[in-house]
Structure 1
Amino acid sequence: MASPAPRLLLPEAPSLVAAFGRATLLSTEGEVRVLGATAVANALAEQPAPLLVHAPATARRLDLPPFEEALDLLELFAFACPAEPAPPTPRGLALALDLPVPADDEAAAILLPELAGALLRRLSRLAGTEAGRGAAAIAAHLRDTIAWPWADSVLAALGQPGMKAGREALKVWRRLPEWEETGPPPPPASHAVSPADARRRLAEMLGGSAEQRPQQADFASAAAAAFAPREAEGAPQLVLAEAGTGTGKTLGYIAPASLWAERNGAPVWLSTFTRNLQRQIDGELARLFPDPEERRSRVAIRKGRENYLCLLNFDESLGQAGMRSMALPLALVARWASATRDGDIQGGDFPGWLLELFPPGTLAGFADRRGECIRSACPHYKKCFVEHSIRRARHARLVVANHALVMVQAATGGGEDGRPTRFVFDEGHHIFDAADNAFSAALSGVEALELRRWLLGAEGGRSRAKGLRARIEELAGDIPDLLPPLEAALHAARLALPTSGWFGRIGDEAPLIPNPAEGFLHAVRAQVLARAPQDEGVYSLECDLHPVGPALAEAGDALRLALEGLETPLTTLRDRLRARLEEEDSGTMEVGERIRLETAMGGIERRALNPLAAWRGMLGTLAAPSPEPGTRPVMVDWLQLDRRDGRDWDAGLHRHWLDPTIPFAQVVAAPAHGLLVTSATLTDAARRNDPEAAWREAEARTGAVHLPSPAIRAAVPSPFDYARSTRAFVVTDVDTRMAGQVSGAMRDLFLAAGGGALGLFTAIRRLREVARRIAPKLEEAGLPLYAQHVDAMDNATLVDVFRAEEDSCLLGTDAMRDGVDVPGRSLRLLVFDRVPWPRRTILNRERRLHLSGGHPQNHDDAEARHRLRQAFGRLVRRADDRGVFVLLDRAAPTRVLAALPEGVVPRRVPLAEAIRETRALLEGYGTEPGENPG
């Protein structure tokens, strides 16, 4: 029997758009009212469930309890438009659906029913198709399980009003393609890319109608040198290229990189610092590969396993599909998984706001964040998103990765992706910090407990972590001599490593210390509390390792012996797996068996032996004499007690390289054939009059000084006229110690700009206090305020909202300072609460002393200048942008203000004058798009 013709069935519901403490309500009779929070609650009690966007955020803004029932348009959008981007606001949905953008809250309330109609019409296009029947089965499941308020409308639009529930439709893996194993790629050729070649490729990418940007072509020409053949082992072709904001460096390096990859049949890895920046680069690659299918075959996005949907986790979660709390999350994730490009659930095409619609942790278990992957033993292995991405990367021409993954892969011998020979490190000023994280070690309670879980699996509680036994026993039938070292390792782990609840047992009294690890952690905590300066109980505490107290020395020696007892059988286990691989004829061993052996061996190496070796080395220093004052260390060791929201949660011994670019140069750069390291802020702006010193410092920060061949240096200035389009002020009459004064200054500056303002803080606590104080006044003026660490949105979602809502304001910390691309009016004012000095830590102390050329203050000044310069770079992204930079810290030294672009002269003025000047520059900005500011 034919399905009924699709029809639109719009629920009859009032429309609700919330501001801070008030809301605009469009009743079902068409009456528009602006009501306070209490009146809104009373009005909604007499009407059907409201139509709104983002129910949790709406309730928070009105200070109301969570809505028990609501027609949330974000739920409908996620169902109808899976894997499509949209900022989670009425304006954002209008932009995504190509509808008129509402000018105010009243217009937004009137628009909500039209948004619902547009989404249902989108669904109606699936009527009669296999995809439509699958969607209808999921909607019917939601109708029968939780009475989802959108279910009847969705089923009507799909032409399936009588569809029976079908939980089978949630088993999305049945519709996913399998990957196929292929032979290893051939070695790359050695064809160079000339500067002229790079310029031609760039011109092809831009097209004949593109704006002429000589700086971009100059940058592409300079970048080509990184793709010349290597002349000596361990001496890569290294180019350091500084490209001022507006140069167009992304397309500038894609030009020679893509040309080299095509000519030589090998990938170039494009590495950046954050997931958000990976997404931006991926977007730029549409200029090179406009066809989505071609881009999918030639471009791969690579991230760590913890970023992808784990199909086995999702499969096992379907047992909860009948629960009210899980039915809708599972259904919406199933809809996304059927449409996603690559299964990236952290910053890819998965909408970050989807996590915010449900209680915290609802979707946390859908990715493998605890190292529980069982690889080839998984029933979904052949359809695994991670395995797909690994295989695409092996045969792609451009791989978009991040610094952390590149460094970890290199440290483990290339890992799953082989060993690339050509790299581009965008946001190269972050190489030092990324290497600092990648090549550090921590012997802490959290890390040690994680190793115990990996070795022993779940010891009570709900988890499918099966431990090392499950990974090895399937191999033991053919290799029986694996069992003795396996049993010995598991026994040693039970004796040595902490168990769940360890922190509660290492307190002051510590009546019972059940194992060496907990004894060591108890001694760490005691030494930290004895020696660390007193604080307010909010921030983490740390103290020097040396001189080592007697209790810590004794506990450390006991733990070192226990870890050696664990390391020995694990080493035997690893070696016996390796011997089996080596003794078998690779031509006769089945691919599946080889994969299982390699996976087991690699897991033991990465997850157990590597950290155990690092911990043993760290514990060995406890017996060493205290270093002489002023001695330059290779490694910096300290003890730390970690806190979150004023609560202690971890303790341990930490080790970092004094100069982490040494292992970066040794492990990542030296084996490569060519590297381009680029950023808008490679050099210190304060060194404009001494460019040689500026480049030497850049070479030290990027590891170039540890390579045998000198780096090729290139600098391309910004095309922007900053002196004409920007203003910079240091406010002289605000006391940054007083939250009220900082709040008042930010509020009045934001109002003067009419929104489009980003406030940056050096402390989360101050950010939250200012957000609480200024939100009501801004909302009264029609300027919505969003805040990192306040709003339940991830950083990418907050930036998407800020970009879409041109008159909104945003408060954030470091993550909002670097790599955020918000062109146009959406960002026209940037306010710093204080100079962003580096934190006063033991690691910072040692680097100030030994990496500053004998001038410790220079180290801090350079860090602060880099941060201010990066922040200023967010303000002007296009030639017709204009913006104001304000620093509220009247104590800011002039030497730090040298970070601002040449031609921008910061003026020290009272707050009132900064407000007047801000209003004068920005008044009318954007009324005539394309007009240059005058």
Structure 2
Amino acid sequence: MAASLSPSDMPPALVAHHGSCSLLTPDGELLTLSSEDAVLELRQWPAPLVVHAPLTARRLGLPPLPQPTPWLDLLELFVFALPGRTMPPTVRGLAQALELDDNRIGSAEADLLPELADILLDRVATLRATPAGEEMAALAVRMEHAGWAWGRSVLAALGTGTSLPPEALQPGDAIRVWRRLPKWEDAAPRPPPANHPVSAADARRRLGEILGPDAETRVGQADFAGAASAAFAPRLVRGDPHMVLAEAGTGTGKTLGYVAPASLWAERNGGTVWISTYTRHLQRQIEAELGRLYPDAAERRRHVVLRKGRENYLCLLNMEETVNIAGARGAASGSLIGLSLVARWAGVTADGDLTGGDLPGWFGDLFGRGLLAGIADRRGECIHGACPHYQRCFVEHSIRRARDADLVIANHALVMSQAAWHAMDGDEAGDEDNIPTRYVFDEGHHVMDAADSAFSAELSGLEAAELRRWLLGAEGARSRARGLKRRLDDLVVGYPRLEAPLEAALQAAHALPAPGWSGRLADAWHSTTEAVTDVATEAATETAEMPGDHAASPPSPLALLGPTNDAALPNPTEWLLHLLGQQALARSTARAPAEGGHRPGAIECDLHPVADAVLPAAAGLARALDRLAAALRTLVDRLLERLEDDTAELDSATRERVEAGVRTIRRRALSRVDGWVSMLRSLGAPADEGATPQHIDFIRLDRREGQRAGEHDVGLHRHWLDPTIPFATVLAAPAHGILVTSATLRDENGRTDGEETERAWEAAEARTGASHLPSPALRASLASPFDYQRQSRAFIVNDIPHDDIGALAGAYRTLFLAAGGGGLGLFTAISRLRAVHQRLSQPLEEAGIPLYAQHVDGMDNATLVDIFRSEANSCLLGTDAMRDGVDVPGRSLRLVVFERVPWPRPDILHRERRLHLSHGAPGAYDDRIARLRLRQAFGRLIRSGGDRGVFVLLDRRAPSRLLSAFPEGVAVRRAGLRDVARDLAAFLHGHENGEDGIPSSPPALS
């Protein structure tokens, strides 16, 4: 080895499981200890060698490690040695990434860690004489000074000391990676696309070219490509796009099936097709599959762009400010170490994506999510052309690449937001959005969910306080927040016509919640509760002393308090939020904040009938917001006037800044304020009895992340009753062609007659917005090629008590052990997931089955799935995000266990949609949602022709009418836990032993 850990300095190596540890002592002795004994042993030796230090500390029951961590975390060394690469953050995942063979990896215990460290240090040493080596040396010196545990070993591998010669790259320059990144250059605008069609035969032929002559033949894939081509026909009538609904069973190969006509249309017409997904998992899967179409990475980068919202990317200006702050603190700094590793990654990243790109998803676990949040544009404060790093900006680069790309892979939220912004801005939208004419919506069963989020409005404490911070910037607290005045700065200074409306807007912004609003609301609710109690007691006493019938009708305690504004609430927004919170608390049975209630989403109530004190408070806030909107609108108009009047004086960079400023004010401020005013002005309008409402208005009290105990956010929420109406109006109608595809577009309820088939398609059209378009959608259905009768089994366990957590955990333990791991446990509530995990982790670890869990392990979902995929015998617990969009073929996923029927959450939104959109059959509406969710969960199980798996539902109350959710041929049997465990073990392990069809499949339940 060119570099290695010195034997004299050999630290202990540690791998922590749940309740036990593998420990390699400095003397080379490999021990298996309890967590408690391992902690005692570690006190005798220097900081250990580990993989994923924060998770290791949690499993040992230790408090969070300080920053910089004193432990030698191999993940930190991996990011330094191999930036821009990802891998599962486990011993096995690291060993596989370093290309060790399975025999050497073995059980991946602590004795493997020194070898992995040597390999990584050897990689560092091989770069010593390269330009990368110079950068690494400079960064390592900076990190060593900041207290990096690996500093001395890395510097030894690079053959340098803690100081560098004057002619070398210096540490202060090395971390300022923005100085070395390439600049983008603008090109001429792309002409509008032509309208040459793509026939079904063309699409099939392109698919064959992509697959190649030796590819596996998938039944239905060519048919799917032919059907998808209809979405790329020339539009005949404005406002009437070609819409194709294509349901493609799991394994059809729908990704390349729609890529074939999409890529061919883009090539022929010089246009861009936007492919939209609901989950990040699928975005990256599609990007990877496009390697079949563009095998050369450079060519793929020219033709394919992955787009996300700005908040997902590294902001170079925010990084510069963070680096300066961290440097000013001096001495040891965990953030400086993390920033140095970000600088190392930023020099090689493909697109600067901090979330789900080539920065490992576990990076935030090591250095804190706050580090990544601080260097992204999560506050919406981009200053565009005024930024000194504008021409190196990752976001701007991806926007420009997307203008000339053939295929853009985005997500539903971004696609719908862009369409809404374009509709709002009209001809002044600029070309940032590059509004497409052709869309593919994969995971199309989520179109309604995404539209519900994109087109809803929320006037809450957090939203309003965020707008105030965006307008005013930091107000006394230590913060890097830049206000509107600072961002516009030289564009308005010296121009009185611009300065006046800007100052008016900033003054009007004081009507929004001031810093500390959450605590003031909590205090006000607590005070009101105490006051009402006192007044009620006094009123009851006085009433009891009244003669005659007066004792039967005591005065209202709230009426006795009166509507006077609390002096502790300094502005109209806080006063209205206080009153809305009072109404929610008064009408809810949930525990109030003052009583210790803090469950997220725990308190919700209808807006109507509106409490008397709310209406004047809403009117007062509406007037205040009108003043803010008027000032901002004047500012926008005068900025546009300056563009027109000062044409000869403005250079292109300044023009672009003005345009970006106008666009940002409209999108981040005016659209939000206008929506709030509309909500507030409609509060007093009485509901039209018997009419179907267009919107659903309600109040919600939430405990949000970052709020202290007793503090809640309160908000007035407005959702479309049918959110596919704005989706169809804003996005679909202006498009020329749209393909919506999924494995679960339609609900299957077991009936096969023509009337029922039509009903299923009509319901799918209603959920995707197709029913709101002039022409009917083209329908296509392609069956899965899998033999579910041979490859799968399904069971309902009928002897597990409904609300017994101990019995539920015992059932999961029994089933996971019977399968030997490879199990995905799905839950409908986070609280039950955590309770089961607490009881399950140690018994499984003792049996050699690692257990991971969403909402427990502190890792993002993509990282958890990567670990699960790489550890063939591990198990994973998760909620909705794991129910669909997760692709784990092979033995790593051979068992899915669902704790109960996934009925829709019985909240106000569901109540109103169930009432008005169910066509008189609310029960059938609930059933349809549950069946589709069961289909999505089952769809995780069989992902290839060689897979074999078992689906288990632990809900004995599951009605038989829901079982048509499973694919044709899947046998569903109700049995006790013991019999289910025996039969699934025989089915799974019999297959591994060369047997087939064990046990024999019973008839499906009707």
TM-score above 0.5, yes or no: yes
Give a deviation string over 1:514-533, Cα, whole Å, max 9, x none. 11101100110010011123
Whether the 8 Å contact between 1:872 and 1:885 is mirrored in structure 2 is: yes
Q: Residues 106 and 726 (structure 1 numbering): CA distance in 2 closer, same or farther, change over 3 Å?
A: closer
Whether the 8 Å contact between 2:283 and 2:410 is mirrored in structure 1 is: yes
Q: Which amino acid aligns with 1:763?
A: A
What residue in structure 2 maps to residue 182 of structure 1?
A: 187
- Aligned counterparts, 1:700-739, within 5 A: 700-739=766-805
Q: 2:710 matched to 1:654?
A: no
- Aligned counterparts, 1:681-696, within 5 A: 681-686=744-749, 689=752, 690-696=756-762
What residue in structure 1 maps to residue 988 of structure 2?
A: 922
State how far apart, in whole Å, the 1-side matches of 2:182 and 2:891 are.
Answer: 43
What residue in structure 2 maps to residue 149 of structure 1?
A: 149
Q: CA deviation at 1:573?
A: 1.0
Q: CA deviation at 1:339?
A: 1.2
Q: Residues 466 and 7 (structure 1 numbering): CA distance in 2 closer, same or farther, change over 3 Å?
A: closer
Q: 2:308 matched to 1:308?
A: no
What residue in structure 2 maps to residue 417 of structure 1?
A: 433
What residue in structure 2 maps to residue 625 of structure 1?
A: 686
State how far apart, in whole Å, the 2-side matches of 1:779 and 1:708 are.
Answer: 58
Identify which range, 40-49 or 469-478, moves more after superposition: 469-478
Q: 2:477 matched to 1:461?
A: yes
State how far apart, in whole Å, the 1-side matches of 2:422 and 2:669 are.
Answer: 16
Q: Residues 805 and 484 (structure 1 numbering): CA distance in 2 closer, same or farther, change over 3 Å?
A: same
Q: Residues 505 and 105 (structure 1 numbering): CA distance in 2 closer, same or farther, change over 3 Å?
A: farther
Give a deviation string over 1:671-695, Cα, whole Å, max 9, x none. 1111110000001122651221111
Q: Residues 846 and 43 (structure 1 numbering): CA distance in 2 closer, same or farther, change over 3 Å?
A: same
Whether the 8 Å contact between 2:91 and 2:108 is mirrored in structure 1 is: no
1:357 is aligned, of 366, 382, 387, to 366
- Aligned counterparts, 1:9-408, within 5 A: 9-10=5-6, 12-66=10-64, 69-101=70-102, 107-146=108-147, 148-161=148-161, 164=164, 166-319=171-324, 320-321=326-327, 322=330, 323-408=332-417
Q: CA deviation at 1:920?
A: 0.7
Whether the 8 Å contact between 1:267 and 1:397 is mirrored in structure 2 is: yes
What residue in structure 2 maps to residue 444 of structure 1?
A: 460
What residue in structure 1 maps to residue 549 of structure 2?
A: none
Query: Would you say how many aligned residue pairs link Structure 1 and Structure 2?
Result: 926
Whether the 8 Å contact between 2:472 and 2:484 is mirrored in structure 1 is: yes
Q: 2:444 matched to 1:428?
A: yes
Q: Which amino acid aligns with 1:246?
A: G
Q: CA deviation at 1:847?
A: 0.2
Q: CA deviation at 1:699?
A: 0.5
1:762 is aligned, of 794, 816, 828, to 828
Q: Which amino acid aligns with 2:684?
A: A
State how far apart, in whole Å, the 2-side matches of 1:578 and 1:931 are.
Answer: 72
State how far apart, in whole Å, the 2-side matches of 1:369 and 1:655 are.
Answer: 24
SS of alignment partner, residue 271 of structure 1: strand
Q: Residues 497 and 178 (structure 1 numbering): CA distance in 2 closer, same or farther, change over 3 Å?
A: same
**Quick check: which has more Rg, 1 or 2?**
2
Note the residue ranges of structure 2 that are not aligned, 5 or more in a row.
165-169, 424-428, 528-565, 592-596, 1001-1006
Whether the 8 Å contact between 2:383 and 2:657 is mirrored in structure 1 is: no
State how far apart, in whole Å, the 2-side matches of 1:561 and 1:918 are.
Answer: 65
SS of alignment partner, residue 319 of structure 2: helix
State how far apart, in whole Å, the 1-side matches of 2:225 and 2:568 are.
Answer: 64
Q: Residues 105 and 461 (structure 1 numbering): CA distance in 2 closer, same or farther, change over 3 Å?
A: farther
Q: Which amino acid aligns with 2:437?
A: T
State how far apart, in whole Å, the 2-side matches of 1:755 and 1:526 are.
Answer: 49
State how far apart, in whole Å, the 2-side matches of 1:732 and 1:477 are.
Answer: 73
Q: CA deviation at 1:13?
A: 2.1
- Aligned counterparts, 1:423-822, within 5 A: 423-477=439-493, 479-494=495-510, 496-506=511-521, 507-508=524-525, 509=527, 510-534=566-590, 537-540=598-601, 541-583=603-645, 585=647, 589-628=650-689, 630-644=690-704, 647-686=710-749, 689=752, 690-822=756-888
Whether the 8 Å contact between 2:4 and 2:117 is mirrored in structure 1 is: no
Q: Which amino acid aligns with 2:664?
A: G
Q: CA deviation at 1:511?
A: 4.5
Identify which range, 197-206 or 413-422, moves more after superposition: 413-422
TM-score by length of 2: 0.89
Identify which range, 425-434 or 320-329, moves more after superposition: 320-329
State how far apart, in whole Å, the 1-side matches of 2:478 and 2:995 are.
Answer: 57
Q: CA deviation at 1:113?
A: 1.8
State how far apart, in whole Å, the 1-side matches of 2:37 and 2:612 are.
Answer: 65
SS of alignment partner, residue 364 of structure 2: helix
State how far apart, in whole Å, the 2-side matches of 1:809 and 1:862 are.
Answer: 29
Whether the 8 Å contact between 2:459 and 2:717 is mirrored in structure 1 is: yes
Give a deviation string over 1:370-398, Cα, whole Å, max 9, x none. 11211111111111111011101111111
Q: Residues 149 and 397 (structure 1 numbering): CA distance in 2 closer, same or farther, change over 3 Å?
A: same
Q: CA deviation at 1:47?
A: 2.5
Whether the 8 Å contact between 1:14 and 1:25 is mirrored in structure 2 is: yes
Give a deviation string over 1:169-207, Cα, whole Å, max 9, x none. 101112211111122110101111111111111111111
Q: CA deviation at 1:72?
A: 1.0
Q: CA deviation at 1:215?
A: 1.2
Q: Residues 489 and 773 (structure 1 numbering): CA distance in 2 closer, same or farther, change over 3 Å?
A: same
Give a deviation string over 1:120-158, Cα, whole Å, max 9, x none. 222233221111110111112112231x23223322333
Whether the 8 Å contact between 2:822 and 2:873 is mirrored in structure 1 is: yes
State how far apart, in whole Å, the 1-side matches of 2:993 and 2:209 are.
Answer: 34
Q: CA deviation at 1:581?
A: 2.7
- Aligned counterparts, 1:899-918, within 5 A: 899-918=965-984
Whether the 8 Å contact between 1:267 and 1:396 is mirrored in structure 2 is: yes
Q: Residues 8 and 31 (structure 1 numbering): CA distance in 2 closer, same or farther, change over 3 Å?
A: closer
Q: Residues 688 and 343 (structure 1 numbering): CA distance in 2 closer, same or farther, change over 3 Å?
A: farther
Whether the 8 Å contact between 1:454 and 1:467 is mirrored in structure 2 is: yes
Note the residue ranges of structure 1 that are not aligned, 5 or more in a row.
none
SS of alignment partner, residue 419 of structure 2: helix
Identify which range, 315-324 or 181-190, moves more after superposition: 315-324
Q: Which amino acid aligns with 2:235?
A: R
Q: Which amino acid aligns with 1:463?
A: S
Identify which range, 639-648 or 482-491, moves more after superposition: 639-648
Q: CA deviation at 1:648?
A: 4.1
Whether the 8 Å contact between 1:441 and 1:614 is mirrored in structure 2 is: yes
Identify which range, 522-531 or 124-133, moves more after superposition: 124-133
Q: CA deviation at 1:325?
A: 2.4
State how far apart, in whole Å, the 1-side matches of 2:696 and 2:474 are.
Answer: 35
Identify which range, 86-95 or 534-543, moves more after superposition: 534-543
Whether the 8 Å contact between 1:818 and 1:870 is mirrored in structure 2 is: yes
Give a deviation string over 1:596-627, Cα, whole Å, max 9, x none. 11011111111111011111110111111134
Give a deviation string over 1:715-754, Cα, whole Å, max 9, x none. 1100001111111111111012110110100111011011
TM-score by length of 1: 0.96
What residue in structure 1 maps to residue 537 of structure 2?
A: none
State how far apart, in whole Å, the 2-side matches of 1:381 and 1:759 are.
Answer: 46
Share of identical aligned residues, percent? 59
